[in-house]
Amino acid sequence: MSHRSLHYGKCNARWCVHLRGHHADYPLVREEHGGVTYLVNRDYEFGYETILRFTSGAELPVTAKLVGELHQQVVIRDARGRPARLSGYVQGRVEISDAQGRLLFRGRYYDSRTVQSLAGDETLTATGQRVVDHWENGFGEGRYAGHAFALGVQLTREGDAPGRGQID
């Protein structure tokens, strides 16, 4: 395949995704250390499908597989010791493939900031909007060798509704 027939350049459209699996499918484990409450998860997988739309007008349907290596949150308590919010991060691997399943990019993903308000109970009931700063970075494989992929999006979610976001 020639360099000219590859899709590359800046994407210009909203990031519309169809999630396969979700963090909620892999519950966090509650851990207590020195009076501090943490929620932790390791080694889980989820993915999404989307269409990358380039400024050139080209479109590239892709699927992504994300393997969470570490998802960690700390419970932040108010002055009376009640759970007020969660704050944390996630790190893992990402693989971006085309519609035929050919690997295009392989790299890392990070949720550099996850924030969720809590109702104040010890069951850690979530309230309001959840905010996640999500980043994916990788290098090309096969016909995309020598190319890089970078994506940044702030995802928001209200209750159990699917996350929404806009590509940076």
- Cβ atoms of 143 and 127 within 8 Å: the answer is no
Which pTM value belongs to this model? 0.77
Two structure tokens written together for 81: 């010791």
Number of domains in the chain: 1
pLDDT attached to residue 4: 43
Question: Please, what's the b/e burial string for 98-121 (b: 16 or more CB within 10 A of its CB; e: otherwise)?
Answer: beeeeebbbbebbbeebbbbbeee
Q: Residue 50: which domain range?
A: 3-167
pLDDT attached to residue 9: 54
Highest mean pLDDT among 46-60, 72-86, 130-144: 72-86
Lowest mean pLDDT of 2-11, 99-108, 123-132, 148-157, name the range: 2-11
CA–CA separation, 136 and 67 (whole Å): 12
pLDDT in tens, 117-141: 999 999 999 998 888 888 999 999 9
**Does pLDDT of 162 surpass 90?**
no
